[in-house]
Structure 1
Amino acid sequence: MTELTVFDPPQCCSTGVCGPSVDPKLSKLAADLDWLKKQGVAVTRYNLSQQPGAFVENATIKGILERRGEDALPVFLVDGEVMSQGSYPDREALAGWVGVKAQSSETESGGCCGADAEKQQGSGCC
């Protein structure tokens, strides 16, 4: 089983999807990581403010932090190999790293108009 490990910068909670102003990138990432789990990928996520030991215990992450500091976060590892540093990837990138076919949430549901968008034109949906 492929393992994706995320090392997040300090956040108020494990996903960063909390508080009065939620960063849309973080809520999208949370949904994408849940989707990967449903595809059979083992996903582990560490938050620097809540689990600092995980950052120190991982030699790769410790080295990155020593060289670049917290600006390197988030860091994404797939089976221990660094895939990304300093930004949050989209679903397509995540899927490519772990070898699954990417589907956007709109593709799965057919977007706001459903699967038969042409039939629903004029319905006020789109």
Structure 2
Amino acid sequence: MKKVQIYDPAMCCPTGVCGPGVDPDLTRLASVLHSLEKKGFVVERYNLANEPGAFTENKVINDLLHQSGTEALPAVLVDGNVVKEGEYPTNKEFGEWFEIEPSALEEKKPETPLNFTKL
């Protein structure tokens, strides 16, 4: 199985729902990672603000940060090699790495909307 690691820039939380604005890419990523976890896949994720040691201990990431600075974050490694810098992976990329259909990672919406009526 592929080893996928995501090195996030310094953030207060990984979901993107903190602060005054919500980053839709971070909420998509959280949903994709949840879907992958339910399927038995593991993606390691590190936040520069909370886990700086993970950035200094990984030579590939440490070298990348010395070359490109924090603008290279988020950085994604697959089996120890940098495959993406400065943006999060797409569903298609996750699908390729884990050999699953990208549509299996999309958030499923209820087929019929909930109808709440006042009693």
TM band (smaller chain): 0.7 to 0.9
2:17 is paired with a residue of what secondary structure?
coil
1:89 is paired with a residue of what secondary structure?
coil
TM-score of the pair, normalised by structure 1: 0.78
2:102 is paired with a residue of what secondary structure?
coil
Runs (5+) with no aligned partner, structure 1: 116-126
TM-score of the pair, normalised by structure 2: 0.82
Alignment map for 1:54-65 (pairs within 5 Å): 54-65=54-65
- How many Å apart are 1:78 and its aligned residue? 1.6
Name the Cα RMSD after superposition.
Answer: 2.0
Deviations 1:56-101 (A, max 9, x none): 0000000000000000000111221221111112211111122222
Alignment map for 1:1-126 (pairs within 5 Å): 1-103=1-103, 105=106, 108-109=108-109, 114=111
Answer yes or no: is the 8 Å Cα contact 2:14–2:26 preserved in 1.
no
Deviations 1:12-46 (A, max 9, x none): 11333322211111101111111122222211110
State how many pairs are aligned.
111
Distance (whole Å) between structure 1 residues aligned to residue 41 and residue 83 of structure 2 = 15
Distance (whole Å) between structure 1 residues aligned to residue 10 and residue 27 of structure 2 = 16
Answer yes or no: is the 8 Å Cα contact 1:74–1:86 preserved in 2.
yes
Moved more, 42-51 or 74-83: 74-83
Answer yes or no: is the 8 Å Cα contact 2:16–2:24 preserved in 1.
no
Distance (whole Å) between structure 1 residues aligned to residue 57 and residue 67 of structure 2 = 16
Runs (5+) with no aligned partner, structure 2: 113-119
Distance (whole Å) between structure 2 residues aligned to residue 7 and residue 40 of structure 1 = 21
**Bigger Rg, structure 1 or 2:** 1
Answer yes or no: is the 8 Å Cα contact 1:4–1:98 preserved in 2.
no
